[in-house]
Amino acid sequence: MKFPYGISDFKEISTQGYFYCDRTHMIPVIEDAGKSILFLRPRRFGKSLVLSMLENYYDVLKKDQFDSIFGHLNIGKNPTPLHNQYFILKLDFSCIGAYGSTEQLQQFMMDHVNARIKEFILYYEDFISTKIDIHPTNAIASINSLLGVIKRYEMSIYLLIDEYDNFANELMLNKKTTDIDDDAYSLFVKKDGPLKTLFKALKAGTGGNGFDRTFITGVSPVVMSDITSGYNIAKNKYLDHRFHHLCGFTTIEVKNCLEKIVADGEMDRSLVDTAYSLMKTYYNGYRFSVKAKDHLYNPTLCLYFLEEFRDHCECPRKMLDENLAVDDQKIVFISELPIGEKIIATLTQKNAILEISELKERFGLTELLKDISKDQQFIVSYLYYAGALTMVDENMSGKIDLKVPNLVMKSLYIDHLRQMQFPNPSIRDDGRLSAEKVYTQGDIQPLCEFVVNHYLNVLSNRDYLWANELTVKTAFLTLLYNDILYIMDSETEIDRRYTDLTMIIRPDKRMFQIFDVLIEFKYVSLSDAKLTGEAVKKIDQAALEHMACIKTSMTEAIRQVKHYSDALNKKYPELRLKSFAVVALGFDRICWKSV
């Protein structure tokens, strides 16, 4: 099998025998949905391939190639009357520079639009004989010249815009100043700036023999919110359940592909179950409409995994494709908001649910960069569009529940928290070494001491306002997290209850001499202990462990650990389990027991 990792050319994929999950049956749905569509999905989710599919389907010059490109696919057997009936103009806003002054940004945009019109002229030179004028510093005039010529022909243009918000998001994420009124992005987008003017020109060219249809892709609705009056004709279809499967892989598609790889490679059949279990845990979980009946896999991550699995007959060492890691910029942006860090810490826990009354479909520059009162609805909506959260369902209160979709995305949250908690690389390395002793030697003491000395002691007094068991658990989780060796679940269900932190060795890594790990946490507040932080620090470890409140919590933690250990050993007979009970007293001291 050939996998099209990094390839978004539909014709190449379709005609060169690459693995492809047929989405051509969606073309009639797209046609019926409206003449101007806005479709949003997270980065690296297959949006460019969708545009390439439309480009090849509607291009008048590919009429003679229709059977070779689409004949074996769903739409080839049931084509619509519009196939191969358009000129195609495609813009890719990720090619526009995201730096410099407003004038420079404007010229970058003009250069890109003009370059695409020049390509259009060369591509259709045998079809269009009338001259189209290119204005080097005024792409709007170039567009008007293009439209003026096209009106002389019987066909119109299908306009495709890929990553319409890419350069704008880059500008916003890299922004350093807090004065947005004079910011390059603000001037570029708003106040009848160049981008808004461009979209006005595109809107003016719709209908008749101009831009008859438009399909726009992006990650978030931010830019469209800022240019609403410039382009208020696009129908938002990113929450429409009919479009749910337009990008991404289904469970059946993933399973069938694994079956074929194993059969073609004459591998052991048990590898299918091992590989599928890992892919489901790390890559599944995306739901883009509360009406959608199933969840989707990130296609780029799947192709990364499947290619490694085919080539080496084993699962990849690292489950996270580094091309997805840059998404943590958005997590950094959220973490710097007043309630952002607390929300991200909460999301590291399994089954953590955030609820909002409704996803925000419109939020512009001012709300992103200037309004410091960003609430949970804003943060959750922003993370949803970034692919860092996904829909669960509507709850009994009529609100929408969202959660982290899978372990790959959770790893980005945890990695960022680790950077925040331990900004000094040397100290961070010491933390990793102390964590390694837990699962290589079964010794938790160095890790407990590290957390006390380098995490708890540096928290400010304000953190006591939301100090609890979760705070301590998050510190341990960020240090222990290792998705190369383990399936890391901070909450594993046992008898309808949840363990605090489990590290189950990946099924393909059981050859290593390491332990499975279970840790149960308890938290005793300083007020419950009737002590101050300064007083607690002066108590020696032996006396600390004999305090009544500590002994009570430790006894309960040990009882739970024994119960969970028995259940885990029954569920996974191959475990080499090391179990621990950990009790924190405020943000000052920790007691531990190996159970």
Q: CA separation (Å) from 27 to 50, 79, 135, 298, 428?
A: 10, 9, 35, 21, 51
pLDDT tens across 99-115, in order?
777 788 889 899 999 99
- Decide: 40 and 237 in contact? Cβ < 8 Å: no
Instruction: Tell me how far apart the alpha carbons of residues 329 and 449 are, in angstroms, rounded to a whole number.
Output: 31
Q: Which residues contact 499 (CB under 8 A, 6 or more apart)?
A: 491, 492, 518, 520, 560, 564, 568
- Decide: 162 and 90 in contact? Cβ < 8 Å: yes
**Helix (H/G/I), strand (E/B), else coil: 28:** helix
pTM above 0.75, yes or no: yes
In the 8-state DSSP scheme, what is residue 86? B
pLDDT at site 176: 45
Torsion of CA 117, 121, 127, 129, to 10 degrees: 120
pLDDT at site 366: 62
Residue 490 corresponds to which tokens in the numbers above? 């901070």
Residue 462 corresponds to which tokens in the numbers above? 């304000």
Q: CA separation (Å) from 266 to 3, 230, 260, 495?
A: 18, 57, 10, 39
The DSSP-derived string for 430-451 is: HHHHHHHHHHHH---HHHHHHH
How many other CB atoms sit within 10 Å of the CB of residue 559?
A: 13
Q: Would you say the C-alpha torsion 460, 463, 469, 473 has a positive or negative sign?
A: negative
Options 2.60.120, 1.10.10, 3.30.160, 3.90.1720; CATH for 319-421 is 1.10.10
**Helix (H/G/I), strand (E/B), else coil: 372:** coil
**Helix (H/G/I), strand (E/B), else coil: 326:** helix
Adjacent-strand bridge partners of 227: none
Q: CA separation (Å) from 93 to 7, 163, 212, 283?
A: 18, 6, 20, 28
Residue 415 corresponds to which tokens in the numbers above? 């990695």
How many other CB atoms sit within 10 Å of the CB of residue 470?
A: 20
pLDDT at site 461: 46
In the 8-state DSSP scheme, what is residue 490? S
Q: Which residues contact 503 (CB under 8 A, 6 or more apart)?
A: 439, 480, 482, 486, 487, 488, 516, 517, 518
**Helix (H/G/I), strand (E/B), else coil: 540:** coil
Q: Which residues contact 429 (CB under 8 A, 6 or more apart)?
A: none
pLDDT tens across 259-280, in order?
999 999 999 999 999 999 999 9
Q: From 303, 296, 294, select the one nearest 257 (Cα to Cα).
A: 303
Residue 592 corresponds to which tokens in the numbers above? 């531990």
In the 8-state DSSP scheme, what is residue 103? H
- Give me the residues of the chain with pLDDT under 70, please: 168, 171-185, 190-191, 228-229, 324-329, 338, 350, 363-374, 457-469, 490-498
pLDDT at site 459: 60
Q: From 325, 428, 569, 407, select the one nearest 436 (Cα to Cα).
A: 428
Residue 450 corresponds to which tokens in the numbers above? 């590290």
- Decide: 508 and 273 in contact? Cβ < 8 Å: no
Strands 390-394 and 400-403: antiparallel
Instruction: Tell me how far apart the alpha carbons of residues 169 and 41 are, in angstroms, rounded to a whole number.
Output: 14
Instruction: Tell me how far apart the alpha carbons of residues 270 and 275 are, in angstroms, rounded to a whole number.
Output: 9
Is the domain defined by 10-240 classed in CATH 3.40.50?
A: yes
Instruction: Tell me how far apart the alpha carbons of residues 21 and 303 are, in angstroms, rounded to a whole number.
Output: 12
In the 8-state DSSP scheme, what is residue 208? T
Adjacent-strand bridge partners of 236: 38
Instruction: Kindly report the length of the chain.
Output: 595
Residue ranges per structural domain of the chain: 10-240, 249-317, 319-421, 422-595
pLDDT at site 177: 41
